[in-house]
Amino acid sequence: MPMPDNTACNNCALHNTAGLKKLGIDTANVDYVVALAGNPNTGKSTVFNALTGMRQHTGNWPGKTVVRAEGGFSYNSHKYKLIDLPGTYSLLSTSQDEEVARNFILFGRPDVTVIVVDASRLERNLNLTLQVLEITDKAVLCLNLIDEAARHHIKIDQRALARDLGIPVVPTTARSQQGIPELLKAIDDVATGAIICRPHKVKNLSKPVEKAVKQLAGALEQQFPGLPNSRWLAFRLLEGDSRITAAVKNNELKELVRP
Amino acid sequence: MTEAEKDNEILARAAGLRWQLGDNFHDKLTEGIYTDAAQIAAHAVETPAGERHYTFDSKIDKIVTSKTWGFPIMIGLLAVILWITIEGANYPSGMLFTLLIDTVHPLLKSLAAHIGLPLWLDGLLIDGIYLAVAWVVAVMLPPMAIFFPLFTLLEDFGYLPRVAFNMDALFKKAGAHGKQALTMSMGWGCNAAGVIATRIIDSPRERLIAIITNNFSLCNGRWPTQILIATIFIGALVPASLSGLVASAAVIGIALLGVAFMFLTSWGLSKTVLKGEVSTFTLELPPYRPPRIWQTIYTSVIDRTLIVLWRAVIFAAPAGAVIWLVANVHIGDITIANHVIDFLDPLGVFVGLNGVILLAYIIAIPANEIVIPTILMLTVANLGLIGVGDTSGKLFELDSAMATGSILSAGGWTLLTGINLMLFSLLHNPCSTTIYTIYKETNSWKWTTLASLLPVIMGLVVTFLVTQFWHLIWLMPEVKP
């Protein structure tokens, strides 16, 4: 779906790319922190470069980014710090790249998490999306590589998707900058609270699992009132995650409660 | 109840519930997530019915990952890239030599003489630091500026995961993780980057194997060495029209030998100190994407070529000073360099190299990039070659790879020395940056030491064997009658 390139559009508030200032590695005194998560090889680094004006090396293979990269941009006079997390298929195992991504979304408490997905492989990518939405409720789905999906005649009902996931959905082709203005607007809206997300929580759990999760999440909320991701923490505790167990013991969870 | 008691109660409750749910909680949860994802996707995604998708990609994949064509195509692509590099680098390299060494160097010398710079300072700055830097630029820049963009184009196209796919079975046989093929490919760019990339391997045992054997991937700093020596010694064996092809074949041979050593060492490690089961993994073959040519050339020139060159220059400058000092400071009658070279020479000759090469590898531990310039400067200094219009005995005329060859021949090099240098360049300790990275990633001196020393020992053994074998072949006809 190529974006029409006429002047009327460029004058629209949505196309406020003039409000974008690419700050490269200058990340001092930021107003908001944004994390970039997503499956490997969905173009996270390309989105990162499009937003920060940096030229992180991008490559067409899964696992290119194993360390997190940071950059900055400013939009509508808000200063943002952007963190490019390693691409992972899930957040449920213990390989080092998954832990880096998971710990940042959980303990780093980004103001917005942008989940970059490959539009032509949406179903597979949604697994990670749903896991991220269990951890944080401030997220934007970046439906990247939309041009590739179109080439394969895949149509995506982006409204239905946004409704089901409960977060803004923005189709992009980051390598040619398409959809970046809309993505910026969505990030800004979620960060400032102009859009309140109602993220999807996993529904298809068996009765005993659902019951156990509810019980444990309840106990966690009692101990740490206002905990935003008690359900996900319950998942992890039920699996015996040692990092989360330690976080319960050393009161790290208290810091997850937003003031 | 205190806070701590409450925390413990939560954990106790979690443990109790975990017990009730049984040990397949992880699978149940994953199943739930997948079902949700499938429902949402079914709601939002409309795929064309009946039509077979990705026909273009799967057609290419059928060929490039096939049992018959996978490896020949891999080697063929590498061969084409190397051939273009070797053929293309000659001319600009010669120009840079003329400019930096034949023109600017005498200019600097006369300028220094004009302002009355003390002789020792003139030597240290101009014959040491400047020459080393100029040499690194002239030797390294042209091949890198051609090789890296070509390699990056292949990477952007999506070919690397197919390499991993092709090699997976071999790695499995060696007791290593299939993703090691990816870290190996990263190592072809830079070993330190390859070592960091092993974080994608989640089993600690297989990750260690990948870290220790990454050095067998020829890196940025070593490709130019291989290309240059292959051009001088092996390309020269055949008529000029074929020399580019033959030299590329020799470099590919070394790169493949590196892969063979990687398998062999991985296998050895997984049978001895790092025993264990091979873990399985999913490798996603990304869609082929048309590479954006200009952007790729831009980023690979900025990200790779200039950064690697800058690193080489940074290490070459102090190395140039060291070379000048060891070549000019005398202890007794002869210079420090001569002392060390005389000391190392027996060992060097024993393994078919020489003292100059070994000393160069010691000086060049910080960066492989400066090995060739160091060898050349030491050879010249050691022989006392004196060039045109020079006062301190360091200048010589060089305008092409062949002239480099004539210096090396004057230093007593033979085809055997060239071959052994190519082998030793493949099999020696990682550069200091890589060693430091290995330590940071493993947090263990034991593994760092093993990863550093194992390749050197292998290198010495291999060059020794090659030398013995070589002498055997050449002596044979004389012994017979």
Q: How many CB atoms lie within 10 A of CB A252?
A: 14
Residues 160-199, chain B, touching A (beta carbon < 8 A): 160-161, 179, 182, 196-197, 199
Which residues does residue A73 pair with via DSSP β-bridges, in sequence order? A22, A80
Q: Which residues of A touch B18 (CB under 8 A)?
A: 237-240
* Helices and strands (H and E) in chain B: how many: 22, 3
Task: Give the pLDDT confidence score for residue A27 in this predicted structure.
Answer: 61
The Cα–Cα gap between A249 and B4 comes to 7
Contact in structure between A9 and A66 (CB atoms under 8 Å): no
R_g of chain B, CA atoms, integer Å = 27
Q: Which of B4, B36, B44 has the CB atom closest to A130's CB atom?
A: B36
Number of CB atoms found within 10 A of residue B253's CB: 14
* Count of Cβ atoms closer than 10 Å to residue B98 Cβ: 16
Nearest to B283 by CA among B8, B61, B135: B61
Closest CA to B11 of A118, A234, A158, A50: A234
List the beta bridge partners of residue B161: none
- Cα angle B411, B419, B373 (rounded to 5 degrees) comes to 50
Give contacts of A238 with chain B, Cβ < 8 Å.
14, 17-18, 21, 25
pLDDT single digits (tens) A199-216: 998 888 888 889 999 999
The H or E element that residue A24 is part of is strand A20-24
The pLDDT of residue A17: 59
Residue with tokens 């629209």: A12
List CB contacts of B334: < 8 A, sequence separation 6 or more: B342
% of chain B surpassing 90 pLDDT: 16
Nearest to B11 among A40, A123, A248 (CB): A248
Convert the pLDDT of each residue in B16-44 to its tens digit.
888 888 777 888 888 888 899 999 998 88
How many Cβ atoms are within 10 Å of B4's Cβ, its own excluded? 11
Whole-angstrom Cα Rg for chain A: 18
Of B6, B38, B161, the CB nearest to A123: B38
C-alpha A35/C-alpha A122 separation (Å) is 20
CATH 3.40.50.300 residue window(s) in chain A: 3-196
Q: Are B443 and B414 in contact (CB under 8 A)?
A: no
Whether residues A66 and B18 touch (CB distance < 8 A) is answered with no
Q: What are phi and psi of A23, to 5 degrees?
A: -105, 5
ipTM score assigned to the predicted complex: 0.84
Per-residue pLDDT of A235-244, as tens digits, reads: 988 888 888 8
CA nearest A256: which of A224, A234, A232?
A224
In chain B (481 residues long), the average pLDDT of successive 10-residue segments reads 79 85 80 90 80 69 85 86 80 83 87 88 87 80 79 78 82 85 79 80 86 90 85 86 87 92 92 77 71 75 72 82 85 85 89 90 82 82 52 42 72 88 93 86 92 94 93 66 38
Provide the shortest C-alpha distance from residue A100 to chain B (in Å).
11
Identify the three-state secondary structure at position A127: helix
The DSSP result for B121-144, as a single string, is: HHIIIIIIIIHHHHHHHHHHHHHH
| Residue A4 confidence (pLDDT) | 46
Nearest CA in chain A to B186: A64
Q: Mutual orientation of helices B371-383 and B401-410 as an angle, nearest 10°?
A: 50
Q: Which pLDDT belongs to residue B385? A: 52
pLDDT tens for each residue of A226-235 = 888 888 899 9
CA distance B250 to B257: 10
Residue of B nearest to A234 (CA): B14
Question: What average pLDDT score do residues A46-65 get?
Answer: 68
Q: Are strands A112-118 and A139-144 parallel, antiparallel or unpaired?
A: parallel
CB pairs under 8 A between A and B: 186
What would the two tokens of residue A52 be? Answer: 């920060």
The pLDDT of residue A23 is above 80: no
Q: Which residue type, as a one-letter code, is found at position A2?
A: P
Query: For residue B448, what are the contacts with CB-CB under 8 A and spacing of at least 6?
Result: B435, B438, B439, B442
pLDDT-derived band of residue A8, with 50, 70 and 90 as boundaries? Answer: low
- Measured CA to CA, the distance from residue B342 to residue B359 in angstroms comes to 10
Which residues lie below 8 Å from residue A176, measured CB to CB, with a gap of 6+? A147
Q: How far apart are CA A100 and CA A117, in angstroms?
A: 19
Q: What is the pLDDT of residue A15?
A: 54
The fold for domain A3-196 equals Rossmann fold (3.40.50)
Q: Does A257 score more than 80 pLDDT? A: no
How many whole angstroms from its chain centre is CA A120? 18
What is the model's pTM? 0.67
DSSP type of residue A85 = P
Mean pLDDT of A189-207: 90
Taking the C-alpha atoms of residue B324 and residue A79, their distance in angstroms, rounded to an integer, is 51
Higher pLDDT, A39 or B158: A39
Residues pairing with A84 in the sheet? A36, A69
Q: Band of the pLDDT at A98, cuts 50, 70, 90?
A: confident
Question: Per-residue DSSP letters for A37-84?
Answer: EESTTSSHHHHHHHHH-------SSTT---S-EEEEEEETTEEEEEEE
User: Residue range A82-87: average pLDDT?
Assistant: 85
CA distances A147 to A1, A156, A179, A185, Å, are 7, 12, 11, 21
Gap between the Cα atoms of B278 and B259, Å rounded: 19
What is the rounded (10 degree) CA torsion for B106, B111, B117, B118? 20
Instruction: For residues B394 and B132, give the distance between their C-alpha atoms in angstroms, rounded to a whole number.
Output: 11
Indicate if the pLDDT at residue A5 is higher than 50: no
Q: Which two tokens stand for residue B45?
A: 């995604």
